[in-house]
Amino acid sequence: MTSDTTQALIDGVLAGQRRSLARLITRVENRTPDAADALAALYPHTGRANLVGITGAPGTGKSTRVNALAQTLRRQDHTVGIVAVDPTSPFSGGAVLGDRIRMSDLSGDPGVFIRSMANRGSLGGLAATTGDVVRVLDAGGFDYVLVETVGAGQSEVDIARMATTTIVVDAPGLGDDVQAIKAGILEIADILVVNKADRPGVQNTVRALRAMLELGHRLRTAGHHGYQLVPPDESADNEPVYDFWQVPILQTVATEHTGLDAVVDAIAQHREHLHESGIMAERTRQRVEAELVARLREELLFG
């Protein structure tokens, strides 16, 4: 049973009211008693938004990349919700708002809603309530919801369970051409973006990533994408043919908005591919199952 105040917030979210979005998200983050009822009421209105996760090692320009991607989507008349998961402040316990500072030029745009969240010690690059916050934005009618992980670098794989499309961002000149492959990061990528492509060494980074992708294909380790290798025709001098999603490697310079249209196109193509292949339904089932298990575990341990 939802209270009148909670019902008013639900109605406001469904109407796209920013104040209602902010207030309900705060309740969801703080896990107030009425938050679960509100999420249950909003659930039938979810599923339309294109959920895009952006992850990668520190220093690759993820926040600048999210900012530029949001601006590109807005130029195409899409509405955008952004969830930026920041480290927890050791003093206030809230989010360290570095991402919000980098996205300050989006403030005031009525088609963009930005929310920073503290990860509050959660591993995997997300906060414990990130999925619930994403659902609120989805129900709020946003065309795209962009989720930027905290940037720990080696344990940011939870985003793949939540997002429709996962973008892994790398950059040249960080001392490791393939640092994005650590701890399964490369395996969750639906799109690989080499940002700061105006720097020296970008082609070395692209070659290293392409070699690792090819190795993964030949070893049939691309389990995240849910497909199998189609062997090449042994009688023909040709390359192997794959029936899974071919992960593109795109080069961008986010500060100059270079290469971003290609990223938006790749996101749309990947979503279409998921629907046509039937993988979207399977990913949705797996996500709901994982969320249910996590919720039951939380209730058993802390309820």
d(C-alpha 146, C-alpha 83), whole Å = 6
Same domain, 222 and 89: yes
Same domain, 177 and 32: no
Residue pair 188/224 in contact (Cβ under 8 Å)? The answer is yes
User: How does the average pLDDT of the chain come out, rounded?
Assistant: 80
Question: For residues 122 and 173, which has the higher predicted lDDT (pLDDT)?
Answer: 173
d(C-alpha 71, C-alpha 75), whole Å = 6
Q: Give the lowest-confidence range in 142-151, 192-201, 221-230, 284-293.
A: 221-230
Nearest to 97 by CA among 82, 113, 84: 84
Residue 281 belongs to some domain of the structure = no
**What pLDDT is attached to residue 218?**
54
**What pLDDT is attached to residue 186?**
78
How many Cβ atoms from other residues are within 10 Å of residue 214's Cβ? Answer: 12
Dihedral (C-alpha) 73, 177, 201, 259: value to the nearest 10 degrees?
A: -10
Same domain, 147 and 101: yes
Same domain, 14 and 124: no
Question: For residues 88 and 125, which has the higher predicted lDDT (pLDDT)?
Answer: 88
CATH assignment at residue 68: 3.40.50.300
d(C-alpha 137, C-alpha 115), whole Å = 10
Same domain, 202 and 266: yes
Average pLDDT for residues 46-65, to the nearest whole number? Answer: 88
pLDDT digits (tens, 9 = 90+) for 81-124: 999 887 655 444 444 555 555 566 777 889 999 998 876 555 44
pLDDT digits (tens, 9 = 90+) for 222-276: 455 554 444 444 444 555 444 578 899 999 998 888 999 999 999 999 999 999 9
Nearest to 70 by CA among 113, 99, 18, 101: 113
Residue 292 belongs to some domain of the structure = no
Domain housing 96? 48-230+239-276
d(C-alpha 42, C-alpha 280), whole Å = 21
**What pLDDT is attached to residue 23?**
96
* Number of domains the chain contains: 2
Question: For residues 211 and 53, which has the higher predicted lDDT (pLDDT)?
Answer: 53
Question: For residues 292 and 41, which has the higher predicted lDDT (pLDDT)?
Answer: 41
**What pLDDT is attached to residue 250?**
96
**What pLDDT is attached to residue 123?**
47
**What pLDDT is attached to residue 106?**
78
Same domain, 62 and 164: yes
Is the pLDDT at 168 greater than 70? The verdict is yes
Same domain, 58 and 106: yes
How many Cβ atoms from other residues are within 10 Å of residue 113's Cβ? Answer: 21
Question: For residues 301 and 117, which has the higher predicted lDDT (pLDDT)?
Answer: 117
Same domain, 54 and 129: yes
**What pLDDT is attached to residue 100?**
52
Residue 9 belongs to some domain of the structure = yes
Phi, psi angles (nearest 5°) of residue 116? -95, 140
Residue 289 belongs to some domain of the structure = no
Residue pair 240/230 in contact (Cβ under 8 Å)? The answer is yes
Residue 298 belongs to some domain of the structure = no
Highest mean pLDDT among 113-117, 156-160, 184-188: 113-117
Residues 6+ apart with CB under 8 A from 48: 138, 141
**What pLDDT is attached to residue 57?**
79
Residue 257 belongs to some domain of the structure = yes
For residue 178, give Cα distances in angstroms to 120, 168, 192, 202, 270: 29, 12, 12, 12, 23
Residue 290 belongs to some domain of the structure = no
Is the pLDDT at 10 greater than 90? The verdict is yes
Residues 6+ apart with CB under 8 A from 8: 20
pLDDT confidence of 167, banded at 50, 70, 90?
Answer: very high
Per DSSP (E only), the strands in the chain are 50-56, 80-86, 112-118, 144-148, 165-170, 191-194, 229-230, 241-242, 249-251
Same domain, 12 and 86: no
pLDDT confidence of 56, banded at 50, 70, 90?
Answer: confident
Same domain, 114 and 192: yes
Same domain, 34 and 52: no
3-class state of residue 180 by DSSP: helix
Question: For residues 200 and 142, which has the higher predicted lDDT (pLDDT)?
Answer: 142
Tokens at residue 89, please?
């402040």
Residue 136 belongs to some domain of the structure = yes
Same domain, 23 and 122: no
Nearest to 179 by CA among 149, 146, 152: 152
